[in-house]
Amino acid sequence: MANPWAGEVVLVVDGERRVAKLTLGALAELEAELGADTLVELVARFEDGRARSRDLIALLAAGLRGGGWAGTAADLARAEVAGGGLDAVRAAGQLLARGFGAA
């Protein structure tokens, strides 16, 4: 079970339960991957509805790597996420909320 107070979110990828977490390293990687100048800009992209599917995959992949997964965004793009796009979006929202202090 994921610990929301530690910023953790569960995502089932290719039938395996994975824990995702936005560590500082994951956030830095995400900023670089998405070309965001600041964390505020990065979060605003999702809050304002400007996020694209590529952004969602990058966020989830960074969070999964923060939780110990060794895969890449390309691996995640090819993977089956239990619950489909809806659960992927839900997990991304939880990652952002928990990563920035709202469990």
Structural domains counted in the chain: 1
DSSP 80: P
* pLDDT tens per residue, range 7-52: 899 999 999 999 999 999 988 888 888 888 888 888 888 888 888 8
* Mean pLDDT (whole number) for 65-81: 95
Q: Which amino acid is at 37?
A: D
Q: Provide the domain limits for residue 57.
A: 4-99
9 in Cβ contact with 62 (< 8 Å): no
Please state the rounded mean pLDDT for residues 67-77: 95
103 pLDDT higher than 60: no
